[in-house]
Amino acid sequence: MSSDAEIAVLHNEAESRFEATVDGHLAECEYLLQQGTIVFTHTFVPPELRGRGIAEKLARTALEYARQQRLAVVPACSYLAAYVRRHPEYASLLA
């Protein structure tokens, strides 16, 4: 079993997603890029991995990427929308 501190989130540009493979399971945050905007469409963490903060780590990594790239954020995914509401430091990224 992986330690949560060891969970690495990778940006898989070819698949348009941020992902983490933990204990053989893939967790992901998918997006679409559209003219200076990043639309987060879906976040999924397998049931076996839930409750370990993996979705939060995916969201934070994805939003920091958007900030670094100066992309406006559209949180079409309910998890990302809720995450931004709970973390107002990302509100300025919203399109």
pLDDT at 1: 44
Q: What class is the 4-93 domain?
A: alpha beta
> 13-24 burial, b for 16+ CB within 10 Å, e for fewer?
eeebbbbbebee
Q: What is the mean pLDDT of each run of 10 residues along the chain (95 residues)?
A: 72 98 97 97 97 96 98 97 97 96
Q: Please give the model's pTM, rounded to 2 decimal places.
A: 0.92
pLDDT at 2: 46
Q: Which amino acid is at 77?
A: C
pLDDT at 4: 57
The tokens of 18 are what? 């941020």
pLDDT at 5: 64
| DSSP secondary structure letters along 29-50 | EEEEEETTEEEEEEEE--GGGT
Sign of the CA dihedral running 58, 63, 65, 71 = positive
